Amino acid sequence: MIKIAPSILSADFVNLERDIKKVSSADYLHVDVMDGCFVPNITIGVPVVKSIRKCTDMFLDVHLMIDKPLRYIEDFAKAGADLLSIHLEADHPTRIAEALKVMGECGVKKAVALRPITAAEAVLPYLELGVDLVLVMTVEPGFGGQAFMESQLDTIRQVRAIIEKYNPACELEVDGGIAPKTAPLVVEAGANVLVAGSAVYGKEDIPAAIAALRV
Catalytic site residues?
32, 175
C-alpha to C-alpha distance for 102 and 136, rounded to whole angstroms: 22
C-alpha to C-alpha distance for 87 and 64, rounded to whole angstroms: 7
Closest CA to 138 of 169, 183, 170, 168: 183
DSSP label of 38: S
C-alpha to C-alpha distance for 40 and 65, rounded to whole angstroms: 10
What residue type is 161 in one-letter code?
Answer: A
**What order do you get walking across the sheet with 83-87 strand by strand?**
3-6, 193-196, 171-175, 133-137, 109-114, 83-87, 59-65, 28-34
DSSP string, 46-63: HHHHHHHHHH--SEEEEE
Q: What beta strand segments (E) does the chain contain? A: 3-6, 28-34, 59-65, 83-87, 109-114, 133-137, 171-175, 193-196
